C-alpha cells in the first residue's frame, strides 16, 4: 500500500547518501512512465541510460529556464539527480522557484533526489523541499534497507517506518511496514493497608470473636434494647431545701 501511495504522489523527495543504492526504489517509483525528463547533475548520462534503457527518456545536463515550456508541454516525469548540485549551480532560491513551478504544472510528476550527507547543518533547502513534497523517503543511517516514509494527506502528515526487500530475479521491490509492539501499561498493584504499617491493624476471626464476647463493667447497668442513667446521691452531698427562686417576683 505504501508503494502505491508513493507512486501516486505528485512530488516525491528521496533523501539518501552516497553509500546507499536507491536504484531499485527509483525503478519502482518510475514504473512504466511514458515520458521522462531526467536532469543528470550527479551521475553521468551513460549510467542512467543503462537504468532506463527501455523507456522514453530525455536526458539533460542542465536545467535551462528558457526550455521550461518544452519540458512540460506534455505529461511527463521530471527526475532531478540531485537537487544538491542543481542548487549549487543556480542558487538554492532559484532552484526552489523552478521546483515550485514544476510542482504546480498539471503535466508534471516530480521525483527529487537529495543527498543528506552533502547538506550543511540546518539546511534551508532541505526544510523547504520537505514542506513542498507530497511524500518524503528517508533512508536510515544504520540500515540501508530501512526507510522512514512521510506522506502528506490534506493538512496532516502520516509517518511510517518500512523495510525494503528486492528480488533481483523478478526485479520486484517490496515494502513492508514495521509495526511497533504496543506495550500495555501494567495495572497498578492494589496495596493492602496492613502492609503499609509496622504494626498489625487487621483483625482475624478469633480476635473478632473475643471482642464480641468481651463484657465491659458498664454493660451490666444497661438493659438490652434501652439505655438508662443510674445516679445514687452521695452521703456528703449538700442539699438546699429552700426554694432557689424565692427572691423572684413570679
What count of other Cβ atoms lies within 10 Å of the Cβ of residue 118? 15
Rounded to whole angstroms, how far apart are CA atoms 72 and 108?
A: 6
Residue with cell 513492508: 176
State the chain's mean pLDDT as an integer: 83
Q: pLDDT tens across 125-164, in order?
A: 899 999 999 999 999 988 888 999 999 887 788 899 999 8
- Contacts for 146-150: CB closer than 8 Å, 24+ residues apart: 146/178, 147/25, 147/175, 149/2, 149/6
Q: Provide mean pLDDT across the span 93-111.
A: 93
Q: What per-residue confidence (pLDDT) applies to 167?
A: 82
Q: Provide mean pLDDT across the span 120-128.
A: 82
What count of other Cβ atoms lies within 10 Å of the Cβ of residue 132? 17
Q: Is residue 163 part of a domain?
A: yes
The count of structural domains within the chain is: 1
Q: Is residue 169 part of a domain?
A: yes
Kindly report the CATH number assigned to the domain that includes residue 128.
Answer: 3.40.50.300
Q: What per-residue confidence (pLDDT) applies to 204?
A: 73
* Residue 198 pLDDT class (50, 70, 90 cuts): low
Q: Is residue 240 part of a domain?
A: no
Confirm whether pTM is higher than 0.85. no
The angle that helices 124-132 and 83-90 make with each other, rounded to 10 degrees, is: 120
Q: Provide mean pLDDT across the span 181-206.
A: 67
Q: Is residue 246 part of a domain?
A: no
Q: Is residue 82 part of a domain?
A: yes
Q: pLDDT tens across 32-90, in order?
A: 777 999 999 998 999 999 888 888 999 999 999 899 999 999 999 999 998 999 999 99
pLDDT at 182 over 90: no
Domain housing 17: 2-177
Position with higher pLDDT, 50 vs 248: 50
Q: Is residue 243 part of a domain?
A: no
Out of 28-32, 132-136, 221-225, which region has the weakest mean confidence (pLDDT)?
A: 221-225
Q: What per-residue confidence (pLDDT) applies to 119?
A: 84
Q: Is residue 22 part of a domain?
A: yes
Q: Is residue 189 part of a domain?
A: no
Please give the torsion angle defined by the CA atoms of residues 67, 73, 77 and 81, in that order, rounded to the nearest 10 degrees.
0
pLDDT at 221 over 60: no
Position with higher pLDDT, 9 vs 233: 9
Amino acid at each position: 500500500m505504501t508503494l502505491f501511495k508513493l507512486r501516486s504522489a505528485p512530488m516525491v523527495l528521496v533523501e539518501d547518501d552516497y553509500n546507499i543504492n536507491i536504484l531499485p526504489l527509483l525503478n519502482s517509483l518510475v514504473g512504466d512512465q511514458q515520458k521522462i525528463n531526467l536532469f543528470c547533475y550527479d551521475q553521468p548520462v551513460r549510467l542512467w541510460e543503462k537504468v532506463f534503457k527501455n523507456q522514453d527518456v530525455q536526458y539533460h545536463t542542465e536545467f535551462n529556464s528558457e526550455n521550461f515550456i518544452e519540458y512540460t508541454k506534455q505529461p511527463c516525469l521530471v527526475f532531478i539527480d540531485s537537487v544538491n548540485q542543481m542548487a549549487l549551480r543556480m542558487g538554492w532560491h532559484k532552484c526552489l522557484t523552478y521546483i515550485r513551478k514544476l510542482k504546480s504544472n498539471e503535466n508534471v510528476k516530480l521525483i527529487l533526489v537529495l543527498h543528506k550527507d552533502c547538506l550543511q547543518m540546518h539546511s534551508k533547502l532541505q526544510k523547504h523541499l520537505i514542506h513542498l513534497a507530497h511524500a518524503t523517503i528517508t533512508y536510515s543511517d544504520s540500515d540501508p534497507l530501512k526507510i522512514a516514509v512521510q506522506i502528506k494527506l490534506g493538512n496532516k502528515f502520516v509517518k511510517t517506518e518500512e523495510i525494503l526487500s528486492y528480488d533481483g530475479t523478478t526485479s520486484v521491490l517490496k515494502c513492508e511496514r514495521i509495526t511497533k509492539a504496543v506495550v500495555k501499561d501494567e495495572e497498578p498493584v492494589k496495596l493492602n493497608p496492613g502492609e503499609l504499617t509496622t504494626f498489625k491493624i487487621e483483625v482475624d476471626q478469633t480476635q473478632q470473636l473475643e471482642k464480641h464476647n468481651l463484657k465491659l463493667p458498664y454493660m451490666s447497668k444497661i438493659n438490652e434494647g434501652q439505655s438508662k442513667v443510674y445516679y445514687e446521691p452521695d452521703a456528703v452531698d449538700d442539699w438546699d431545701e429552700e426554694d432557689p427562686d424565692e427572691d423572684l417576683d413570679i
